Amino acid sequence: QHPRSVALGRQAEAIARANHDRSDLAYALTFLAHAIIDTAGVADGADAYEEALALRQEIGEKNRALEPRAGLARLALAAGRTEDALAHAEAILAHLESGNLHVVDEPAPVSLAAIRVLQAVGDPRAAAFLHEARSFIRRRAELLDERAPLFLQLPPNAALLE
């Protein structure tokens, strides 16, 4: 399954590059980074996340920049680079303080990355942010009626609610 995801990610990347669509390219690179990490391991997805983050920043897509930034935070934490991980988590938190989780395409993985970094460094803000993220996911689930149980079982959402 995952090698197919990498192939699809590379295909999406090629199409976006050919179309000179930087926003679609950032989406493709973020997807590709996820797929590479699931297939090849942690370090190999960093380049795709870095490029996706740079593209999002260049074109002013601040909200969408949070997902590749969260990926970079996860990678840095896994590699034991806590200062780098914390820098990414701080950037995520700073952005979310100026808005809220509603502005993020994938709020659970973004929140989870920042929370895990804060927990790893013993930052007391982790508990408050975890509470806020859990409340957000539960409120979103309430809007889904009969589909709520499926939504809550999605891996990032379930991980937040553990």
CA distance 7 to 12: 9
pLDDT of residue 106: 84
What is the per-residue pLDDT for 144? 92
Which pTM does this prediction carry?
A: 0.91
Q: What tokens does 31 get? A: 């997807």
In sequence order, which ranges of the chain are alpha helices (DSSP H)?
2-18, 22-40, 46-58, 66-78, 82-98, 107-120, 125-142, 148-153, 155-161
The span from the CA of 67 to the CA of 34, in Å, is: 10
Judge contact between 74 and 115, C-beta under 8 A.
no
Q: 112-139: per-residue pLDDT in tens?
A: 999 999 999 999 999 999 999 999 899 9
* Overall average pLDDT of the 1-10 stretch: 85
Looking at residue 102, its pLDDT comes to 66
pLDDT for res 1: 54
> Which SS3 state, helix, strand or coil, does residue 126 take?
helix
